[in-house]
Amino acid sequence: MNLPETGPLLDAGDLVLRPPLDADLPRLIEAFADAEVARISAMSRFGEPPYGETHAIAWLDRQREARADGRRMILAIELDGGLAGTIDIDFANAGQGRGELGYWVTESFRGRGVARRAIRRVSDYAIGELGLARIEILVEPHNEASCRAAAAAGYTREGLLRQFLEFEAQRHDLVMYSLLPGE
């Protein structure tokens, strides 16, 4: 995917969606102390918990490399001047007009509609500015908050993908949500 060299800087009401900064490192370290955020972020690639500055720098470098290669674009979700989470678009299937969203929100910002608003704004950007024809979100069925966020952002639940993905040496079911232009 041919991404703009910098940005984007997206406004979603009281949220600002922007590329992650080195200044985010302290909040990333705090976020990766949450086992669920660390799991979603695949921190195990960088070693065992507890995760510190070296791990957070490695994670951030990996995100920047993926963007430079056009494979993925990650944005920090900023609220009240602090890092509330991240959201990314994976472009592995961009040649077919598809992108996959991934996101996490830190515990102190959960339950405030942060994921829903970030999902919607990034989806509108991906369809309107990047020209994607379909955005997908894959969620573990037990992650009810993420399922609610996807649905509240206008995504359609398409169904259960049984044993769809292997991680942590196990096969996992995932629920597929999608958004098409005009929805």
What CATH number is attached to the domain comprising 28? 3.40.630.30
- Tell me: the pLDDT tens digits for 15-56? 999 999 999 999 999 999 998 899 888 888 888 888 999 999
Report yes or no on 4 lying in a domain: no
Could you identify the residue written with the tokens 């509330």?
Answer: 84
60: pLDDT confidence band, cut at 50, 70 and 90?
very high
Distance of CA 73 to the CA centre of its chain: 9
Question: Per the domain annotation, does 5 fall within a domain?
Answer: no
Closest CA to 164 of 134, 135, 138: 138
Considering the domain boundaries, does residue 56 fall inside one?
yes
The confidence score (pLDDT) of residue 67 equals 94
Q: Which residue matches tokens 């991680």? A: 167
The pTM of the full predicted model, rounded to 2 decimals, is 0.94
CB atoms within 10 A of CB 61: 11
Q: How many domains is the chain partitioned into structurally? A: 1
For residue 116, is it within any domain? yes
Strand, helix or coil at 126? helix
pLDDT digits (tens, 9 = 90+) for 83-125: 999 999 999 999 999 999 999 999 999 999 999 999 999 999 9
pLDDT bin (cut points 50, 70, 90) of residue 129 is very high
Over residues 156-174, the mean pLDDT reads: 94
Name 71's Cβ contacts closer than 8 Å, sequence gap at least 6.
Answer: 1, 90, 91, 92
pLDDT of residue 168: 79
Q: How far apart are CA 37 and CA 172, in angstroms?
A: 17
Q: Please state, as a whole number, how many other Cβ atoms lie within 10 Å of the Cβ of residue 18.
A: 17
Domain residues for the domain of 107 are 10-179
CA nearest 123: which of 156, 95, 96, 145?
156
Residue 31: inside a domain: yes
| Residue 2 forms part of a structural domain | no
Asked if residue 19 is part of any domain, the answer here is yes
Plot region of 96 (φ>0 → left; ψ -120 to 50 → alpha; else → beta): alpha
Structural domain contains residue 42? yes
